Amino acid sequence: MSTEPLRPHLARDLIARAEQASPHWSRRIRNELDGIQLGRGRHVDHVNARVLRRILAEHDWPGHRLVGRNGCRAAWQLALHADDDPELQRSAARLMHRAAQDDDAPPWQWAHLHDRALLTSGHTMQEYGTQYRGGPHGVELYPVREPATVNARRAELGLPPVAVATNGLRQRLRTPSSRINDATALTAFSLMAGAA
């Protein structure tokens, strides 16, 4: 695989968008935003979702060959934060799955997006145990389908066991459980839980 992406300008745009939104995502997960800041961040996520929708329509999933590893990761981050557009998340997850099968995107990133798309689409359980929410005892895993076999499914995609990911997430957050609440349920938890 060539190290130079086919569309470096597209890679730069995706990376810049993810970098611009990243401070908002980080502060949102820690519940450190006032209403105005939250609204501005949601507007950025909405604009990024529209841009990502256009990219998917024109190029399919922006994988490693098209935009490089960093561009692919940035596209994944934008898709993860398109929570207000479940249809886009489902479409992005389908396209990313094909890219992962073609070795053009990391399977573990696809697992995060797949789980996120399930939850934002109204499903009550996730497949790979990548999505977390705030609860009365701090960070909690959203319910997982067939929890007895989740670690085997995770291992197939290069993800660590759920307990390892959860402990790592809690260490990285280092936020008192009282500051993490249901308002942060579908934010950047998945990014932090598996992207060590």
Higher pLDDT, 54 or 31: 54
**DSSP H helices in the chain:** 8-29, 35-59, 64-80, 86-101, 107-120, 150-156, 162-173, 189-194
Q: State pLDDT tens for residues 142-160.
A: 999 999 999 999 999 999 9
Query: Do 154 and 176 touch, CB atoms closer than 8 A?
Result: no
Q: How far apart are CA 37 and CA 28, in angstroms?
A: 9
The region, left, alpha or beta by phi > 0 then psi within -120 to 50, assigned to residue 188 is: alpha
Per-residue DSSP letter, 85: -
Helix (H, G, I), strand (E, B) or coil at 133: strand
The pTM is what?
0.86
Query: Do 114 and 105 touch, CB atoms closer than 8 A?
Result: no
Higher pLDDT, 152 or 42: 152
Predicted confidence band of residue 41 (pLDDT cuts 50, 70, 90): confident
Q: What is the pLDDT of residue 102?
A: 98
- Would you state the structure tokens that stand for residue 134, as one six-digit string? 């705030």
Q: Compute the mean pLDDT over every residue in the chain, rounded to the nearest whole number.
A: 86
Cα–Cα separations (whole angstroms), residue 155 to 43, 52, 132 = 36, 29, 19
Q: What is the pLDDT of residue 180?
A: 42
HSE on the CB side for 171, CA within 13 Å? 8
Q: What is the pLDDT of residue 137?
A: 77
Q: What is the pLDDT of residue 171?
A: 83
Predicted confidence band of residue 52 (pLDDT cuts 50, 70, 90): very high
Q: What is the pLDDT of residue 54?
A: 98
Q: How far apart are CA 133 and CA 141, in angstroms?
A: 6
List all residues 6 or more positions away from 164 whose beta carbon is below 8 Å from its beta carbon: none
Q: State pLDDT tens for residues 183-192.
A: 333 333 453 3
Q: How far apart are CA 138 and CA 193, in angstroms?
A: 14
Q: State pLDDT tens for residues 83-122.
A: 999 999 999 999 999 999 999 999 999 999 999 999 999 9
Q: How far apart are CA 111 and CA 100, in angstroms?
A: 10
Q: What is the pLDDT of residue 193?
A: 35
